Amino acid sequence: MKLIEGGVCAAQGFTAAGVHCGIRRNRTKKDLALIFSRVPAQAAAVYTTNLVKGAPLLVTKRHLQDGLAQAVICNSGNANTCNADGEAVAVQMSRLAADALGIRAEDVVVASTGVIGQKLDVAPIAAAVGPLAQALSPEGSTAACEAIMTTDVQKKQIAVEFTLGGKTCRLGGIAKGSGMIHPNMATMLVFLTTDAAISAAMLRKALQGDVRNTFNMTSVDGDTSTNDMVTILANGLAGNDEITAEGADFETFMQALNTVNVWLCRAIAADGEGATKLIECTVTGAQDLQTARLAAKSVVCSSLTKAAMFGEDANWGRVLCALGYSGAALDVTKIGVSFRSAAGSVEVCRDGAGVPFSEELAKKVLREKEIEIAVTLGGGAASASAWGCDLTYEYVKINGEYRT
């Protein structure tokens, strides 16, 4: 498994582009992205569990019923959610992209992100989609990545190279997500592409299985968005024998998918609105995987723990508190907690009780940009990781002024 450049264009046959079309007032911000496969691709997606869903998700879900897609169009600056004409606009977006590309509208994935409850004017999209299609390029991943960003500060794109049956395959992705991040299916907007040959059924199995351990274990602020969606397109141009069942090739594909998704999860958490630190909670010694997941995610979701990490305060009692209300089956008298970073490690709790530790060392450990909260439950062999960020003054400022 090798990290490579190229993002969503790393895989054979994929091109991408991003432009400013006029949805966002700031002309320096791109706001319309396009991803295209030169051949139809197997496709799968997961969607937000929020009952309030963006119109693009409803349209995309219908389009992917046959397990095929060839393009993705996404705008930023407006979520196209809670609008009476939302679905009609989303359908029109797919038709505009299809006409510009010469493909079926049903083979277009549609996505939007931004402010909820404001009508999306399709005119700027209609005017820009032709030039956008002409701008498609094998080097276009960065432009597309920029075009889907809202409050994001950092671009999030990655790709890996791996081998299936002697054939070189690639899988890459781009993501947006900085706030309103607390998924229960997948999260934010994530677009994945691969040239590996894999059936739509196995692609769905892979994606649904992996998000439970990646995007479902990521949280910035406890808010599940209305527009969360993760999609993956597999065009088969690598030429490997198609994966149609579990086996060694499927496991290799799952490893590639997990590598990309974990990287994107960490990037999203680190880029949380106003964040200064990436927090990773690793739970070991759980009696089963569900227990480990519940415990790890509860810790990274705790506002008090997040605030303590911002203040570089080794207040381990907040970690135990989060574990206690997580719903996980655990024996408090067996819990251990350590804080770790590039600056070292400090044990703060053993067997559910505090142990003497150096506040000076703890401060040094928590001053780093990436913090691990290591929890052991002492009850089994299962483990899980979750990703989050600290809670800062800037988060309140960003969201207090988000619409205005």
Rounded-to-integer distance, Cα 281 and Cα 351, Å? 18
Encoded tokens for 394: 């800037």
Residue 160 β-bridge partners: 3, 171
8 A C-beta contact, residue 270 and residue 219: no
The backbone torsions φ and ψ at residue 171, rounded to the nearest 5 degrees and listed phi first, read -140, 125
Rounded-to-integer distance, Cα 198 and Cα 242, Å? 5
3-state secondary structure of 65: helix
Rounded-to-integer distance, Cα 398 and Cα 404, Å? 10
Rounded-to-integer distance, Cα 21 and Cα 285, Å? 52
Rounded-to-integer distance, Cα 28 and Cα 30, Å? 7
Query: Measured between alpha carbons, how far is residue 276 from residues 103, 174, 370, 393 in Å?
Result: 44, 22, 9, 11
3-state secondary structure of 382: strand
3-state secondary structure of 324: helix
Residue positions annotated with a catalytic role: 187
Helices and strands: H and E segment counts in the chain: 11, 15
| Nearest residue to 156 via CA among 279, 29, 266, 76 | 266
| Nearest residue to 220 via CA among 39, 338, 401, 394 | 394
Measured between its terminal Cα atoms, the distance across the chain in Å is 45
What are the residue ranges of helices labelled H in 194-247?
A: 200-211
- Classify 187 in phi/psi space as left (phi over 0), alpha (psi -120 to 50) or beta: beta
What are the residue ranges of helices labelled H in 188-302?
A: 200-211, 248-270, 289-301
